[in-house]
Chain A
Amino acid sequence: GEDVEQSLFLSVREGDSSVINCTYTDSSSTYLYWYKQEPGAGLQLLTYIFSNMDMKQDQRLTVLLNKKDKHLSLRIADTQTGDSAIYFCAESDNAGKSTFGDGTTLTVKP
């Protein structure tokens, strides 16, 4: 079946850039997503990218997609303490069914 993998932990200093990486196996992925989960809350969609695009930028967030290598990354510029959260990578197939990674816990140190 489909598999989405991401490293479990990332720690950065405030003001630095964070890069969270994700790999997936499903060749028929149509959309790829990044969700953010803050403590005690549900997941919130941050951004998504269509599979025929290779980059999407939204303010401090940059998504890069390498479809050949099935690699997705999320770069957060000027990381702030409020960015501390769990970030989930997900992909959806042609039917719109999503598969989630196990989440990367981002810790931002002052």
Chain B
Amino acid sequence: DTAVSQTPKYLVTQMGNDKSIKCEQNLGHDTMYWYKQDSKKFLKIMFSYNNKELIINETVPNRFSPKSPDKAHLNLHINSLELGDSAVYFCASSQVQMGNEKLFFGSGTQLSVL
């Protein structure tokens, strides 16, 4: 069983469209995240949720809206897609214990905006 699974793996769409990426973890972790990896492989945190509550919201356009229906799921909806949104988006989860944040990553969603 895959610990952190996200769908779809590839997403090709036109500028201006709205799209969603789904993520599920079966590790029983309390915290879930979305990261963005650009073409240079630099990794930046976008959001994190703890028990369905938003705890980190980095400088991300409000076209990006995360939703956590329960602590095992964290979805990412993107409105009015732009060319600069093309990247690989990673979902991750962790069970933070005394400052130890071991992250478990999904395999990524490669988003291409044309």
Query: What residues of chain A have their CB less than 8 Å away from a CB belonging to chain B?
Result: 30-31, 33, 35, 37, 40-45, 48, 50, 86, 88, 92-98, 100, 102-103, 105
A43 and B42 in contact, given A96-B96, A97-B56 (Cβ under 8 angstroms): no
Q: How many contacting A-B pairs (Cβ < 8 A)?
A: 64
Q: Please, how many angstroms separate the alpha-carbon atoms of A103 and B40 in the complex?
A: 10
Alpha-carbon separation in the docked complex, A105 to B42 (Å): 11
Nearest first, the 4 closest Cβ-Cβ pairs linking A and B are A42-B105, A30-B99, A96-B96, A96-B101
Some 15 contacts from A to B, beta carbons below 8 A apart, are A33-B102, A35-B103, A42-B90, A42-B92, A43-B92, A43-B105, A48-B100, A95-B96, A96-B100, A96-B101, A97-B48, A97-B56, A102-B40, A102-B42, A103-B41
Q: How far is the CA of A23 from the CA of B45 in the complex (A)?
A: 19
